[in-house]
Amino acid sequence: MKVRDSGMPEEEMWISFFDPPKVLATLGLINGIENLVEFGCGYGTFTLAAAGIASGTVHALDIEPEMVQVVEQKCRVAGIVNVQATVSDFVAEGTGLDANSMDAAVLFNILHHEQPVVLMKEALRVLKPSGTLAVIHWNYDPTTPRGPAMIIRPRPEQCIAWGKEAGFPFNEQNRYDLPPYHYGITFKKPFTQIN
């Protein structure tokens, strides 16, 4: 089931909202990452930047075959060989990845899902102990040029509460401003499950 309000504007507009390498670096996704999973890769705005920092595979999942084709095509053109782009409904089926296999999981602009904790629990499952879950979302501000309707748009505090509910501890230091329109949050998978 496609996440509500998760359609994309034209790519030219979407890419203008982000500096992908800077976003990843701000979230601490810089090096030491072997495998990464991206829930909802869209145009691959962050996928190609992630491929540059991952020594293993970037698993880019999207329910839209067109998005997966766009990402595959971009990787071909850029000579990137460590992206595995797959058509997948991670709401209905999960990621299909092995437990404890990923160093990082990214939930970017997707947590306005009806069941965000389900997605975060799946991230927890596939992450290695000490692996990073990174979340970004639109600021809780009705003047942003895009973003889900305010009624379903989560505040950072809400994402933190969902992460805790999913089983991630949270450290206040791991909140980030991602100007002009986004915030970020990171969580680390504990070595021992906390729930």
| Closest CB to ligand SAM among residues 2, 188 | 2
Smallest distance, ligand SAM to C-beta of residue 41, A: 6
d(CA 12, CA 108): 18
SS3 content of the chain, % helix, strand, coil (to 5): 35, 25, 45
| Closest CB to ligand SAM among residues 40, 184 | 40
Range 71-110, binding ligand SAM (CB under 6 A): 88-91, 108-110
Is 1 among the residues that bind ligand SAM (CB under 6 A)?
A: yes
Near ligand SAM by CB under 6 A: residue from 35, 62, 184, 185 = 62
Near ligand SAM by CB under 6 A: residue from 24, 33, 35, 45 = 45
Evaluate whether 71 touches 47 at the Cβ level (below 8 Å): yes
Smallest distance, ligand SAM to C-beta of residue 172, A: 24
Range 120-179, binding ligand SAM (CB under 6 A): none
Smallest distance, ligand SAM to C-beta of residue 194, A: 27
Give me the helices (H) in 54-186, please.
65-78, 90-93, 116-126, 156-166
Q: How many residues bind ligand SAM (CB under 6 A)?
A: 22
Is 61 among the residues that bind ligand SAM (CB under 6 A)?
A: yes
CB atoms within 10 A of CB 61: 23
Alpha-carbon distances of 113 from 16, 117, 118, 119, 187, rounded to whole Å: 24, 9, 9, 9, 19
Is 17 among the residues that bind ligand SAM (CB under 6 A)?
A: no
| Closest CB to ligand SAM among residues 23, 127 | 23
Evaluate whether 64 touches 89 at the Cβ level (below 8 Å): no
In sequence order, which residues have a C-beta less than 8 Å from that of residue 171 and are 6 or more positions away? Answer: none
**Positions that interact with ligand SAM (CB under 6 A):** 1-3, 6, 8, 40-42, 45-46, 61-64, 67, 88-91, 108-110
